[in-house]
Structure 1
């Protein structure tokens, strides 16, 4: 296990993630959007190709970029607009369909 992966396993709060990656934040943004920010961070990391091939320093920089982008999404917007969680997507009429369920 890489040092980065080991360190990330010890983080539990949004503040800990922000501090670990050295990202300045406004407490009121985290208070209102912490779960949305961490979920969006996870989504950005999951969609980023080639992370496994990076060394720890490069991976840390990539994770920093993903977390910063996730945080900035909620500085400029809000949870209802961003619709990170399925319950908010469904409330807006967004119903993701898995490609396996589509008939050719």
Structure 2
């Protein structure tokens, strides 16, 4: 039985986080604010992709925390060495290159009135 004085588990605390910086702080991951300012949503989306592949059933709290930290570190590293455009974690970016033969609508500025 868990008493009311027991601190919330890391998964519960992460579910209540309200910013990318909260995730980094809760998991003790160092980061460059310049990278997070540019790619915050992409980093969290990538972490979510990694998270979806995990099974935490039966794992102890220290192991869960370590795995969450590793997922955030990997997601962050993905965007340290690459850009959000290169990584394409969001559908709109994937769709932009899905069919390279598809004609792109172009309107010249001289055409606008």
The TM-score normalised by the length of structure 1 is 0.83
Q: Deviations over 1:48-99 (max 9, x none)?
A: 2x322211110110000000000000000000000000110010117xxxxx
Give the count of matched residue pairs: 92
In structure 1, stretches of 5+ residues that fail to align are 95-104
CA RMSD of aligned residues (A): 1.3
Local SS of the residue matching 1:51: coil
What is the aligned counterpart of 2:44 among 23, 35, 38? 38
Greater Cα radius of gyration, structure 1 or 2: 2
In structure 2, stretches of 5+ residues that fail to align are 1-7, 100-113
Structure 1 ranges of 4+ moved more than 4 A? none
Report the structure, 1 or 2, having the larger helix content: 1
The TM-score normalised by the length of structure 2 is 0.76
